[in-house]
Each structure stands twice: as C-alpha cells, then as structure tokens.
Structure 1
Amino acid sequence: MTTSDDAALPKSVELLWRLDQPGGRGPKRGLTLDQILEAAIEVADTEGYAALSMNRVAKQLGFTAMSLYRYVDSKNTLVELLLDRVIGEPPHIPPGTPWRAALEFWARSEFEVIGRHPWWLDIPLKAPPMGPNNMAWLEAGLATLADTPVPEPLRLQLVMNLSLYVIGRRWAARDIAEGAGGEEDFTAALQRVLDPQRFPAIVSALTNRAFEQDDIDWEKGDFEFGLARMLDGYETLIRSFER
C-alpha cells in the first residue's frame, strides 16, 4: 500500500529542493541547472515570457535542446523552477519589528522584486508555489504576525491576500503602462465622449484634474495607497482580537 509519504514528488519539486542531481549520469557535461535558469531569465528579460522555450534557452547557452533535457525534463518544469528563482529570497526583517511596519516592508519588497522581471506575472499559476524561495517569503510574512493574537488560519489568509494584492497591483500597473497612450490622451478622449449628466462624478474628477497630478507616481502611489488601506483594515481586525 502506498501512502502519501511514499508518493513520488513532482520533478520540479525534487529540483527546487535539490533532491535530485540533474545531468549526473553519463559523461561529464558543461552545464548546471543554475546556468540554465539564469539563461532562461536572460531570454525572458530581453524577449518576454512568450519567447521562452527549451530551444531558445539552449541557443542562449550554446547547447542543443537535448542537452537541457538531461537537467530539466520539460518546459513546464523549467517554468516552475523560474517561478521560484525569480522571486528570490525574502527581505530580512529585524526581530521585534512591529507587525504593521514588518508586513508593509514585506509587501513593498515583493512589489519591487516582481517589478524587476515583469514577465514573471505571465507564468500560469496552476498550483500553489512549492519552492524554497516562495516558502521563505511565506515564512517571513507569517512571522510578522507571530506576536499577534490572530489565529493561525487567519494569519495565513492575511498574508496570502496581501501577496495577491501585491501581484494584482503589479500586474495592473504593467499592463496599463504597456497599453496606455499617456494620461493626456486618456483624459482628452474621456472629456470628448463623457456625458456629464450620465457620468457627473467622472466629469468632475476630470475637471479637477484628478488624473493629472504631476507630483504622484501612479505606479507606486496607487500601490502604496491601497497597501495602507489594507493594513488599516488588518489593524482593525487585530485590535478586535485584543479586546
């Protein structure tokens, strides 16, 4: 009888946690898994996620695709490894940091890391990430709430929802930046088509130049405004457990 403990781990999990040594059989090869992942990141940084393939990564390295299959058995496995590789290790949060400051720093750090490799957002998330870096981020996030009276299941929800907010804001900022023609084009077009009787609030915002505040970095400004409001809500919730 096979138990869950006896079941074979997915290939990607074995590689992520270094339980398997790829390319270890046969003649000595001139590649490492780390080299393959770094080459894949170079390709995606330059050409986008859609350009990633075993053939393209092999070409980047000066090898054949068959050489890569000794280390990574499929593109799907490669992508799962990149999902963990790109996010890297979490920031160091000094012990004793108040939970709100710690969680805010954690969220800002995740926002910045994803921004360095925006194609990471295009990786399909078919299952919860299981790599050591993603686990380290989760550990760091949960640790910020360790001294609060919030029950364990709810702590997990708070951290996961905050991470989803970070990813969503980074995704929206990237796609809007890529597709927009600029704030002036946006506001000018709206002013021409909006009926003030039907859309009085939006017309008022346009009239008062709400979309044209030059002193606001919309990418970070929107993110930090929403982050602060989320943490306000977290603070209210945590206080409710302290009564």
Structure 2
Amino acid sequence: MGEAANDTVRLLWGPPARPTRGPKPALSLERIAAAGVEAADAEGLGAVSMQKVAGLLDFTKMSLYRYVPGKAELVALMVESALDEPPAPATGTDWRKQLFDWAHHLTRLFVRHPWLLDATNGPRVVGPKELAWLERVVAALDGHGLTGPERMDAAVLLAGHVRGIAEQSRAAGPSGSPEAALLALLGAVVRENADRYPAVAAAMADPDGRDQALDFGLERILDGLAALIERRAQVEDQPPSGA
C-alpha cells in the first residue's frame, strides 16, 4: 500500500494523527469534509480545491495541510461525509426487497450529491460508511446458495445499474429524465423517419412505463438472481447419485 493510501486509511478509519506543530488545532476533519461537500454540491467536484475549502472555512490553504495531505484525501473524506448509512432491513424483509430498497436509497444519494458519481469511480480506499453499503448487499444474499464472489458481483451489478441511470439523469439536465431529453432531441426526427425506424418510432410513441428504467433494470437483475438462487436450491434438494 502506497503512502497516499496509508494516509487515506488513517483519515477514514482513524484515529487521525493530531497536528504536532503550530497552535492548538482549530479545525476538524468533519468541518473540512463538510465544507468540501458544500463546494461540490454547489459547483461540482472539479471546483473543489484545498484553496476553495480553506476559503469557506476562513482559514489558509496551508493550515488545511496540517489535517489533510491533499485533494485525494479530501475527496475521500467528502465521500464518507456525504454518504448516509445504508437502509437497515425491516424485520422479515426478504433479500429481494432489501436490495430493491438499497438501490433506491443509493439513487437518491446520487441525485442529492451528483459529484459522488465522479468521486467513487475506480479502485480506492473506502471508508466505514461506504463499506457498510457493500456489507448490506452481501449480507442480504447470504444463505441463499450463492458463493462469496457471486454475492460481491451482485453488489457491483446493482451499483453499476444505479450509477448508469444516475449518470444519464445528470446528463439530461434539469428535467432529470433521460427519456424526456431523448424525446426532445430526437422525437421529431424519428417521427419523420418512421418508415425507416418503425420499431423505434413505435416504442418512443408508447408512453406506458416511460421513465421506469431504474425499476425495470432492477427487477430484471433481481429476477436473474432469483432464478440462480432457485436453481442452486434445486441442486441441493436432489438426492445423491446412486441413492
């Protein structure tokens, strides 16, 4: 693990080292992270800098370096600050409902903090809250005949679907509807060329189920997991060969 990763682990998992030089600490990691989240919510992740955050806190940039080594570590703290705890499963809730609720909670987080889509890309050190989101999916699928890697892959698959829809919604602009944006851009063109693209024209003209891409994809992913779980259960129920 590199030095930068070690710094991130220390900041996220603690206990953080206290500054050893200068006056008594006047800042906290929580305040610094909250200021970074404020800046990112207002102007996007690209607008976040040590200078920007220092200005919001009425401190100098150099004073921030006594707490946070650089922007990468700052962004890691911001992610942890912006995340909610994952939804706790209600008593008696089956795995399918747990994962459905999980995906919707994650979607709302991306809507509230669109910059999280950029900040949570690629391999990196994650904090306790982010790891708890992974734990929730893996735990929900435990005991249903899936291997450990399959449960992890299920979490990646669900998160990837949510991210894809959230990315499209962000790109759609104020409406937040990818389908509405597509219709606005291509609707007239497709109608005028319906003889060349009859299937697309018919599909775009049908309002039934519009803007349901998130739930449609979730249900199909969960259908696939259910089919795999059922298949594994049938194999386990089969008597041993030669019995």
| TM class, shorter-length | 0.7 to 0.9
**Residue pair 1:22, 1:72 contacting (<8 A) in 2 also:** no
Secondary structure of the 2:115 match is helix
Q: Deviations over 1:98-133 (max 9, x none)?
A: 111111111111111221111211226231442111
Counterpart of 1:71? 67
> Given the alignment of the two structures, is residue 143 of structure 1 paired with residue 143 of structure 2, yes or no?
no
* 1:128–1:14 distance in 2 versus 1, CA, 3 Å: same
Counterpart of 1:228? 219
Q: Deviations over 1:23-47 (max 9, x none)?
A: 3543202111100000011111112
Question: In 1, distance between residues paired with 2:196 and 2:18?
Answer: 63
Equivalent residues in 2 for 1:39-188 (5 A)?
Answer: 39-123=35-119, 125-177=121-173, 182=181, 185-188=184-187
- Following superposition, the deviation at residue 160 of structure 1 comes to 1.7
**Residue pair 2:138, 2:151 contacting (<8 A) in 1 also:** yes
Question: In 2, distance between residues paired with 1:92 and 1:81?
Answer: 23
* 1:182–1:149 distance in 2 versus 1, CA, 3 Å: closer
Q: Deviations over 1:140-187 (max 9, x none)?
A: 111101221111121111122111211121111111235978566335
Secondary structure of the 1:186 match is helix
> Given the alignment of the two structures, is residue 26 of structure 1 paired with residue 22 of structure 2, yes or no?
yes
* 1:226–1:92 distance in 2 versus 1, CA, 3 Å: same
Deviates more, 1:98-107 or 1:23-32: 23-32
Counterpart of 1:190? 189
- Following superposition, the deviation at residue 188 of structure 1 comes to 4.1
Secondary structure of the 1:204 match is helix
Question: In 2, distance between residues paired with 1:99 and 1:48?
Answer: 35
Secondary structure of the 1:71 match is coil
- Following superposition, the deviation at residue 92 of structure 1 comes to 1.2
- Following superposition, the deviation at residue 232 of structure 1 comes to 0.9
Secondary structure of the 1:118 match is coil
Secondary structure of the 1:10 match is helix
Q: Which amino acid aligns with 1:195?
A: N
- Following superposition, the deviation at residue 233 of structure 1 comes to 1.0
Q: Which amino acid aligns with 1:196?
A: A
User: Among 202, 205, 211, which residue is 2:203 paired with?
Assistant: 205
The number of residue pairs the alignment matches comes to 230
Question: In 2, distance between residues paired with 1:41 and 1:156?
Answer: 29
Unpaired stretches in structure 1, ≥5 consecutive residues: none
- Following superposition, the deviation at residue 11 of structure 1 comes to 0.4
Question: In 1, distance between residues paired with 2:184 and 2:98?
Answer: 39
Unpaired stretches in structure 2, ≥5 consecutive residues: 235-243
Q: Which amino acid aligns with 2:158?
A: L
Deviates more, 1:92-101 or 1:162-171: 92-101
TM (norm. structure 1) is 0.84
- Following superposition, the deviation at residue 203 of structure 1 comes to 2.1
**Residue pair 1:87, 1:114 contacting (<8 A) in 2 also:** no
* 1:51–1:155 distance in 2 versus 1, CA, 3 Å: same
